Structure 1
Amino acid sequence: MAVGAIVRDAHALQAQRIIRDDSLGALYGKKGKGLANLIDNGLRALALMVEQDQTLAQVPPGVMGLIPGETRHIYASSIPDAFRTCVLMYSSIGSLEQWSDEEQVDETAEETNKRFFTEVRDAVLTRSPELRPYFNKLIPLYSGGVPFRFGFSNPRTILNFGILSANRQPSGIKDAQAKLWQLKCSKDYTGVRHAALIFGVPNVEDPTVSPTQKDILRTNIHEIERQADRFEMQFVPV
């Protein structure tokens, strides 16, 4: 069982314990805290050795009780994403919730939103190519205001799109609230009758989403639906 991981990409190297504090406490009682410190120090020592142009295979075994495993080459969108993969593959008592990439949340979320929107647009245009002029429309929120870009707009409907990721739910909620407000303002200004927010959400059967994340996800989806109802709009999770 893996208790920690060392992840390296083209720009950085990071070592992190992936076994949870509560798991160590359950296994070793009061000694769990000392063991956590020992693992943390051992991982830092191993990371320093790797940083000095050594591979894990070359470092001595048993550094503070830690034995390096094999080097694995994986695809990940970020270092936190790589740690999540390590937990999923090698640690049954690791934690997924802690791996949120705070420094890259905005950039990653924007790229994910773009991919989701592109997939939706391409699927729609495959069936109804005549709708192409209505995608990616610029619409002001009020008279004389700076136009905002909406996913879809025609004389009857305004739509916007986004993503609610399991491991970035706070930022996803903020994005949904901002887009609901933009939709409401533009709906009022243009007089369009229908407006909706379409968000991609995780599949409830996704094994990488923890039960806690699923519970929070259900609560967040319900809250966005209620806010959309107050604005007389629809929220459509897909």
Structure 2
Amino acid sequence: MTTPSLAPWRALFWEPVAGTGERLMVGVVYHFGEGWGGRRILRDDVLTALYGKAADGARKLIDVALEMYVAAARAGGSLDRLDVSLGGLHPSELRETAALSVNDLLRIAALQYSSLANLDALDDADESDGPGDEEITRRFSTDIRQAVTNLRPELRQYFGRTSVLVEGGELVRFGYASTRVLAHFSVLNPLRHGASLRDARGRLWELDKGRRVGRQPKAALISGMQRDDDPVLGDRQRARLHEMRHELGREAESAGVIFRTVVSAESGAGQLIELETA
């Protein structure tokens, strides 16, 4: 699976009524990859409940203060010294979190500090937040190959082999191709559910065609996905994962392809070895 990046960040708090000491987490300032950023994550309905028609003004004040923190972090090249109040916001202690993307980082921050964050809004991830689907799948496949090699070194030779989909056609590379099992690997990403489904369906089609030519008794798609109880998943993301798993399971069954979902490369390796030896 994708290797998380260690990202520094500070939660930012706002005191709706000055002097009361009652603060709400409204956003996060962070450094992820090569970039500095800030995001307001407080739900809009909270501000509306507090300020009514004046809520838009409160949002603008918070956004301006967030921009001040981002500018200060970028100018100083660090979050270390941003332990002072700016624009009416107050920072938390500096923290570091392993995250797969900016939205992943924001969800983790929200779960640690705030029950009033708009987690569903974080489901609409920017495609540039993390590595592309091909890179994620390539890493997942590499990790499965290594895990299988550790347990059954004689099976390493079958990874990355090519076959044809029709007699006399172009060679297509499969994740794994032995005399018993033809397999592809994929990753189901709820942040890119459309692309994940297209990729998995394409692999199912290749498996269906490839096994007819190669005459392997088994064809399998092994897909990595997050655990259902992963705390960084929002409700919409969890629903997307269930939908993808259900749809792909039905399509695989109709094509006579085995479909397995796993939560780690080690589990994927175990599934592949089981198919090879059963």
TM-score (norm 1): 0.82
Q: 1:19 aligns with which of 29, 39, 42?
A: 42
Contact 1:78–1:101 (CA<8 Å) still a contact in 2?
A: no
Map Cα deviations across residues 48-104 of structure 1 (whole Å, 9 max, x no partner).
2333338664686350x3223333344434434333332232222223442524125
Structure whose residues are more often strand by fraction: 2
Partner of 1:35: 58
Map Cα deviations across residues 131-173 of structure 1 (whole Å, 9 max, x no partner).
2221221223334443222111122321111111343333222
User: What's the offset of the Cα at 1:208?
Assistant: 1.9
Distance 1:93 1:135, change over 3 A: same
Map Cα deviations across residues 199-219 of structure 1 (whole Å, 9 max, x no partner).
122212222222332222212
**Partner letter of residue 214 of structure 1?**
R
Structure 2 portions without partners, runs of 5+:
1-23, 263-278
**For the aligned residues, what is the CA RMSD?**
2.8
Map Cα deviations across residues 8-30 of structure 1 (whole Å, 9 max, x no partner).
24632222112222443455444
Alignment of 1:159-174 (within 5 A): 159-174=183-198
Does 1:131 find its partner at 2:155?
yes
Contact 1:2–1:90 (CA<8 Å) still a contact in 2?
A: yes
Structure 1 portions without partners, runs of 5+:
none
Q: Secondary structure at the match of 1:3?
A: strand
Partner of 2:128: 103
User: What's the offset of the Cα at 1:221?
Assistant: 0.7
Q: Secondary structure at the match of 2:110?
A: helix
Partner of 2:218: 194
**Partner letter of residue 40 of structure 2?**
R
Q: Secondary structure at the match of 1:7?
A: strand
Map Cα deviations across residues 168-217 of structure 1 (whole Å, 9 max, x no partner).
33322222112112212222333333211111222122222223322222
Contact 1:228–1:235 (CA<8 Å) still a contact in 2?
A: yes
Q: 1 or 2 for the larger relative contact order (CA 8 Å, sep ≥6)? A: 2
Partner of 2:15: none
Contact 2:184–2:221 (CA<8 Å) still a contact in 1?
A: yes
Alignment of 1:174-185 (within 5 A): 174-185=198-209
Contact 1:161–1:198 (CA<8 Å) still a contact in 2?
A: yes
Q: Among the aligned pairs, what percent are the same residue? A: 33
Distance 1:189 1:21, change over 3 A: farther
**Partner letter of residue 94 of structure 2?**
T
Partner of 1:47: 70
